Amino acid sequence: MTAQNPFKPYSAAPKFKGYTRQAVYLAMRDGIRLAVDIELPKNLPAGIKIPAILQQTRYWRNSELNPPLSWFHMSANDLPSSVRKMKLFFTDRGYAIITADVRGTGASFGVWQYPWDEPSVEDAREVVDWIIAQPWSNGCVGGLGISYMGTTAELLLAIQHPAIKAVVPMFNHPDAYSDIAFPGGVFNQRFIREWSRMNTLLDQNKPPIFSHSILNNLVRGVCPVDEDRDRHLLANAVQMHVGNYQLESLETISYRDEVDPIQKLSLDSAAVTRFREAIASNPAAVYGWASWLDAGTADAAIRRFLTFPNARHLVIGAWNHGGTRQASPFQPPDAPVSPSFPDQWTELVRFFDAHLKGIENGAQDETIIHYYTLGAETWQNTRTWPPAGTHFERWFFGENHSLVSQPMDGEGGKDQYQVDYTASTGSQNRWWELGTATHQTVLYADRTIQDAKLICFTTPPVEQDIILCGYPVIHLEVSSSKSDVIFFVYLEVVTPEGQVYYLTEGLLHSIHHKISSESSPYKIQVPYHSFREACGEPLVPGKPTEVDFGLLPVSALIRRSHRIRVAIAGHDEGNFPRHPRDGNAEFTFYRSYQQACWIDLPVLLLQLSSHNPVHS
């Protein structure tokens, strides 16, 4: 399949070739020194002023290589890679790239108190002050980053520095609790444990070992700054990292406002929403990037688009975390990335050219969402979310595990499900973001075998092509034999041949089943669960209870004669912890007129086009 390009054509011809690198320490207000790389276009003439792209990372700004590559003064950033190619793309087009190890990480001094802590947010102000004081700076700075770095880019808005004109947070988790650590209030056990292990090794200046990664035998450690020839400064910085926050303590909490017993902080301390007012009032432009198949990044990006007036650009693809691989379940794992990397980078340059160089190219006045439709494997554009013409169609649980358009008459019936604790979404699912290190893609194989372990409800074959576009919402009238369980709800499509394709999912820890009476800090399009301790309430065993929650957003084509399926599990083996801890749970789903289970599906009536129409 040829990669499509949904973006406006733009000429971004290179003006330079190659870049130079310098590594220095910058002293912060309290004496803590941050390690910073400065990459400038090679042979930049004196007197030429250029903007800067700032990246702040928790994962080493650059890696030092072992001999013999180190004998040639090579670093990991000199190896052929998409990261190096992207940097060259920007520096060749007249941008400086500034990359900093955040406080307490890499070669920087200090202690990493928790993700995106207050001192690190304030450090960015001083780094920006230093950037605009450089003789090559035109006084304009943009933020760019993927994942952790994406949130540091978004938090540049919080400092309200006048030099920050535009930021591009990519595949990030502005609400760490719901977007990655506790989706649906469920501890993301596999990911957090491995992320913690990786961070611990990085903080000890040891490269993490990833399966099938060429870097395992090449990397010595983080690059010291240029002045630190004997590495004594690096050794002193690494010694300070002994006091860094250890993520394993998250396993002891359940609520977003519950205080970590070791760090004495809650995950609310890491949420971008603590700076909501400052971000909302910042005029800097925001361009969010996310994927339907990457943890909760698409949900986070849509919330941002709906909430903040400056977040008027958004792209949602079918990628793995970081966008290095195509991830649509309807494509082979080696399908080309769509759009291609050069097309993506050209779009970023167009955005930054508009806001950091003042080039009139249309990006200044745009409100646009570029989104990929699974199944159709095409890109579409819209100015609103969901796109105009979207409405909800309700499908009720019916007899013989069907989905029907009308609720059951009279007393109806019920369906019982003994939770199968071997059910799993596999090892390369949307929640396993560390696969980025080895360029793994998200892989959801045919779900037929797994669905045999779940309770499933399926529509008749649809009579015409339909498009699902938005947030499905599940309503369960359910009882459980145990008070502490998890509901996993998968939305799938079944082909006429019987193959089952994953589309999206939602999950909810039962202690969070109450709908909150509070207002959400974001504009959202699903029932609001606060995940706060005051709203916590276990189920009463055997008592029918209403459980409503949204599934993660998606855009997908359901072809004529295919069927839509809701598959429900009580566990995802290998990824999330088991609830209850002991014993087995049984769910009972009710389907009478008075007690009905249903799913609301966002159906878009507009015809898909390969010409990327803009839906107003």
> What positions carry a catalytic annotation?
147, 294, 321
Residues whose CB is less than 8 angstroms from the CB of residue 323 and which lie 6 or more positions away in sequence, other chains included: 146, 170, 171, 289, 291, 317, 337, 344
Residues whose CB is less than 8 angstroms from the CB of residue 269 and which lie 6 or more positions away in sequence, other chains included: 114, 117
In whole angstroms, what is the distance from residue 521 CA to residue 514 CA?
A: 17
Residues whose CB is less than 8 angstroms from the CB of residue 11 and which lie 6 or more positions away in sequence, other chains included: none
For strands 368-373 and 313-317, give the pairing: parallel
DSSP SS3 for 114: coil
Burial class (CB in 10 A: 0-12, 13-18, 19+), 559: middle
DSSP SS3 for 242: helix
In three-state form (DSSP H/G/I as H, E/B as E, the rest C), the secondary structure along 317-386 is ECECCCCCCECCCCCCCCCCCCCCHHHHHHHHHHHHHHHHCCCCCCHHHCCEEEEEEECCCEEEEECCCC
In whole angstroms, what is the distance from residue 529 CA to residue 535 CA?
A: 8
Note the Cα 345 to chain centre separation in Å.
Answer: 19
DSSP SS3 for 185: helix
- Bond before 386 cis per omega within 30 degrees: yes
For strands 500-509 and 598-604, give the pairing: unpaired
Residues whose CB is less than 8 angstroms from the CB of residue 381 and which lie 6 or more positions away in sequence, other chains included: 6, 368, 369, 370, 371, 612, 613, 614, 615
> Which candidate, 200, 181, 187, 235, places its Cα nearest to that of 112?
200
> Which candidate, 181, 178, 190, 247, places its Cα nearest to that of 578?
190
DSSP SS3 for 447: coil
Residue with tokens 């920006």: 128
> Which candidate, 355, 331, 603, places its Cα nearest to that of 444?
331
In whole angstroms, what is the distance from residue 191 CA to residue 214 CA?
A: 22
Burial class (CB in 10 A: 0-12, 13-18, 19+), 53: buried
Is residue 514 within 8 Å of residue 500, measured between CB atoms?
no
DSSP SS3 for 419: coil
The pair of three-digit structure tokens given for residue 573, joined into one six-digit string: 């083996």
Largest CA-CA distance found in the chain, in angstroms, rounded: 83
For CA atoms 150, 154, 159, 165, give the dihedral sign: positive
Residues whose CB is less than 8 angstroms from the CB of residue 211 and which lie 6 or more positions away in sequence, other chains included: 438
DSSP SS3 for 600: strand
| Phi, psi (degrees; rounded to nearest 5) at 596 | -115, 145
User: Beta partners for 35?
Assistant: 25
Burial class (CB in 10 A: 0-12, 13-18, 19+), 214: exposed
The pair of three-digit structure tokens given for residue 394, joined into one six-digit string: 């309700």
